Structure 1
Amino acid sequence: MTPRETCCCCDAPPQTGLAPWHLVCPTCGYERAHLEPAINVGSAHDELDEAQRDTGLRALRDQNFRQLLDRLVPQLPGKRLLDVGAAHGWFVQRAAERGLQAEGIEPDEAVCAQAQRNGAPLRPGFFPQALREGERFDAIAFNDVFEHIPDAAGILRACHERLEQGGLLVVNLPSSRGVFYRTSKLLQRLGLPGSFERMWQKGLPSPHVHYFDAANLSRLGARHGFEAIDTFHLPSVRVRGLYSRIASVRSGRWKAPIVWLGVVLAYPLLAVLPADIDVVVFRRVAAPRSGG
């Protein structure tokens, strides 16, 4: 989305946001960043300690995936599930424990190889190019992935093509209404850009290029043949593994103890503050909008 483009959710013209690379839709609140992915570019990965990131995220993701599957499994029309951007394969493994025929796609070659060594049924590559011709699923999930993919409309069209009629599309991603993201925007306005850039994962191999909320994401889905049938929130922080997660970005390790202490002190309030993770479950109901 450049100043000459329109919002992917509502077609309104964007406005310049809080940084030269940041744009905001004044109509629906959708946000876009002009940040370039650099997956499988060696120098881009130097900033990220994958071992610490794995340790930091495992407890949070494992619990969230179990909670997501509790909500999802009763609504599934069949057993074939695809996890796009499956990373270490944790969601695929949890889904298989529920009796689903689950597999994943992961574009990061090193992460995919490690997951395969750990027994996760993952394919290397990008969605939908890594799929076989005519291959279709009962559900396709994006867990903290959709916000990293520049062509959101193209991905939704591909999902519509690859889902069975009545199949489910699950989008689990950071919310633009969440307390951490709103706080980072306030700090950006005060001349402290570090938190805002971290929320967008600026400078990392796969930065965020979108920020949605449940309302504008549902609106985007409706433009491409999907009906939102369920919306809920998941925790974005758990104390277990938090320090490793913060310290996984090497350039920010010097301030990791301060950030960790601040989050831990605020932790009891997070249950009543605006949630930082939205989950929207869509059902495939119609043909995508022509040219959408």
Structure 2
Amino acid sequence: MSKPAETESASRPTRVVVVEDEPTITRAIADRLTAEGWEVSTALDGPSGVAAVREAAPDVVVLDVMLPGFDGLEVCRRIQAEDPVPVLMLTARDDETDMLVGLGVGADDYMTKPFSMRELVARLKALLRRVRRASSTPDVGTGGAGEAAAVLQLGDLVIDRAAHRVTRAGAPAHLTPTEFDLLLCLANAPGTVLTREQLLADVWDWVDATGTRTVDSHVKALRRKLGADLVRTVHGVGYALELPDDEDEPEPDGLGADGSGRSS
């Protein structure tokens, strides 16, 4: 018998809603997650998917992009607007645009069909661990506890770990739990290049290098929300958070650029 899935509390199993219009895939996912000890509800189209999420109040949603009625992107928009929930999206195309759009409407991770059930279960468990860890441990990834570490500031980027709030130049950025964890991982070592495999292991708890495209797409989502200059790509290696540019700091003693004291 399979080991019971990780639970939000000891009183009930993890709840998942699977929204997928292909009955064979729906049954296969439902059977595997049920065997893991999860409580599974299913839906075959967009409108019934939204209704199923409302009724089940799940811990996580598995959501196909292509659905009748309205598509998975619209389902994701609606459920995240009502009561945010972790979402893993399924797409039949290895299309980066689709992935970025999915992340932009509130999805936390994605998988491309065909996929293995083992990987699906591993991704879902990792996603739930990240979300629950974030809600129960404000100082996750800080390298230590303490009130002083609750807020991390790098130039005009401010990360409030306790509130899970991010601003840049005073403007709030609405990040998914996964995007927040990725940003925090990079910000804990500003200027240091972290490999895709390292980020995949630290943020996703996933050690299979086949998932590195997931890292790339989430980095692009961060750039779209926080600015293209924030994360530097080191080709063939990985990513680094850019350090603040000292050029924008005021000249000492009130001197202008020409040293005359005159402002231009």
Note whether the superposition's TM-score is higher than 0.5.
no
TM-score, structure 2 as length reference: 0.29
Q: TM-score, normalization: structure 1?
A: 0.27
Q: Which protein shows a greater Rg? A: 2
